[in-house]
Amino acid sequence: MDRVCRAIRPLEDRCYLEHRFDDQVRRLFGEAHLLGLPISRRYGDGQGVDMVTYALAIERIGREGTGVRTFFSGHTSLGMLTVQRWGDERQKERYLSPGTKGECILAFGLTEPAAGSDPGSLKTSFEERGGKFVLSGQKMWISNGSIADAVIVFANPKGKEEGMCAFVVEKGSPGFSAKPIQNKMGLYSSDTAAIFLDECEVPKENMLGPPGKGLSVAYSALMSGRLSVAAGCVGVIRDCLDEAVRYSGVRVQHGKLIGKHQLVQRHLGIMAVNLEAARLLTLNAAVLRQEHQDRPGDLAVRELADAAIAKAKYFAANASFDAANRAVQVFGANGYSLENRPGRHLVDTRVCKIYEGTDEILEQKIAVSVLGRDFEAYG
């Protein structure tokens, strides 16, 4: 893992400034058998590791940047783990076996132009026609959207506002197209795209999970995705701390190393505490996620895991943003450059407070976990 991440670092440095995803990243992860880490050994290069090991691996990737970690999470946590949880044997063979080798990249398409925090309001629809499903609508802000070979998308039956279903839509399907989103404020080495479904034809066997269970599929994917965001943010905090410690040990002002100035030490101390707190919350969430994976029918475990993951993602996202901000401060003007890692972390980790559940949505979810369901803010 460490060897691959060290090989990815110079690629990431270059691609970030060139505003592009580098396909070599996919190849390097694939050749090192890392894409299949949490996938069963029955499929391709699946390694079958537990959720704690997986979280630690994502923490390591997170140190290289939120862009490369988002690629990894979009494919493995949101994509393959969702197929593993909900797919039938044919779907698992078709998407997991090549997916673990990097030969089939997945993406997860829930968000739409008018449906973000409230996925129940999505407008994409499907109908059965000529022995196929025909999907119409648009997905927005989809990580890996224009590089993916297949995207998990969600749609309601035409003319209805409930009964959501999930589908795996392959890139070459008639009526499918994707367009990269330009002018993001960061995350330059991660592909983010709009996806257009123009009477897109999908074989009937590509429905993922039981009919009408699309929201359950989406929420289970978000649990995996949020855990990976939390773990990636722990890696960001670690990298910000490492960078700030290194710089504090070489930069001299007022006749001494800046690391000897107590106000600089304060930044490092706060980062070190937040690193441990974020890591412990994330590992606790990973333990519960594993228990939920082992006993998916146990609703009490599911609720515990859901709340623990929400807490970990919420805390780690905010702590990583704070750590990046402090690392930029320790670097002074050199921090205010995208050529250095603290500045990149600052703009990139900002998205972790938005995607896969905004801070506000998670605050409410965590509050309800202590208040009880009667206090849910919305249906």
Show which residues are catalytic: 356
Q: Does 151 bind ligand FAD (CB under 6 A)?
A: no
Rank residues 161 and 360 by Cβ distance to ligand FAD and give the closer one.
360
Q: Does 72 bind ligand FAD (CB under 6 A)?
A: no
- In angstroms, how far apart are the furthest CA atoms of the chain? 78
Q: Does 128 bind ligand FAD (CB under 6 A)?
A: no
* Residues with Cβ within 8 Å of residue 75, at least 6 apart in sequence: 35, 99, 105, 106, 107, 144, 148
**What is the 8-class DSSP label of residue 375?**
G
> Among all residues, whose Cβ is closest to ligand FAD?
116
Q: Does 65 bind ligand FAD (CB under 6 A)?
A: no
Under rule CB under 6 A, how many of the chain's residues touch ligand FAD? 21
Q: Does 71 bind ligand FAD (CB under 6 A)?
A: no
Q: Does 142 bind ligand FAD (CB under 6 A)?
A: yes
Angstrom distance (rounded) from CA 91 to CA 345: 36
Nearest to 201 by CA among 90, 312, 145, 127: 127
Rank residues 287 and 354 by Cβ distance to ligand FAD and give the closer one.
354
Rank residues 95 and 331 by Cβ distance to ligand FAD and give the closer one.
95
334: phi > 0 → left, psi -120 to 50 → alpha, else beta; which?
alpha
Rank residues 166 and 187 by Cβ distance to ligand FAD and give the closer one.
187
**Secondary structure of residue 157 in the 3-state scheme:** strand
Site for ligand FAD in 90-109 (CB under 6 A): 108-109
φ, ψ dihedrals at 328, nearest 5°: -60, -45
- Window 184-223: contact mask with ligand FAD (x via CB under 6 A): ---x----x-------------------------------
Nearest to 282 by CA among 248, 232, 324, 242: 232
Tell me how many degrees the CA angle 362-77-83 measures, rounded to the nearest 5.
115
Rank residues 247 and 314 by Cβ distance to ligand FAD and give the closer one.
314
**What residues make contact with ligand FAD under the rule CB under 6 A?**
74, 108-111, 116-117, 141-143, 187, 192, 351, 354-356, 358, 360-361, 377-378
